[in-house]
Amino acid sequence: MNFYLETVNGTIVILLATALAFLSLYIVQQKQALKLAWWKCLTDPPPGIALALPMAAIKAGLVLTRGTLWAWREFGGEQMTGWQLDLVLTGTAVTALGALSLVRVLSRARFGDWPWIISAMLVVIYITEKSIEQCLA
């Protein structure tokens, strides 16, 4: 079982890290080509950068999460340390914020803000329910 989980996580980390590198390169090149300040790229980006930023965040979060899980399994797989859990949770938060931002970018023009707001509310409800369940266990 360890072989499959380590191989799957390692494979995904390699591919996502490569995609993240090229997305980052794209964002930097577009910023330079359009002569945009970093603040403008983050607050009012053109469509290509607007799409690339949340995709990069998703990939960065997944690399952090899956990379941590890969290292944990590859080098022991015993009880996860506090810093490993912190990395997994940080990667999960980055991935979630990137996915929420991607929903916002893809749906806002046609559907307004409701899709990403509802998505965020569903996540809050899910986390609350799981937290209550954990407290009662």
Structure-token match 């290292």, residue found: 71
What pLDDT does residue 17 have? 97
pLDDT for 131 beyond 80: yes
Give yes or no for a contact between 120 and 100, defined as CB atoms under 8 angstroms apart.
yes
Question: What's the pLDDT band for 133 if we cut at 50, 70, 90?
Answer: very high
More confident residue, 137 or 39: 39
Structure-token match 């965020």, residue found: 120
DSSP-assigned letter for residue 44: S
Phi-psi domain of 123 (left: phi exceeds 0; alpha: psi -120 through 50; beta: other): alpha
Average of per-residue pLDDT across 22-28: 97
What pLDDT does residue 6 have? 85
The percent of residues in the chain predicted with pLDDT above 90, rounded, is 82
What pLDDT does residue 1 have? 58
What pLDDT does residue 36 have? 93
Instruction: State pLDDT tens for residues 64-91.
Output: 999 999 998 888 778 889 999 999 999 9
- Alpha carbon 132 to its chain centroid, in Å, reads 25
Q: Within 10 Å of residue 13's Cβ, how many Cβ atoms?
A: 20
Average of per-residue pLDDT across 1-19: 89
What pLDDT does residue 137 have? 82
What pLDDT does residue 78 have? 84
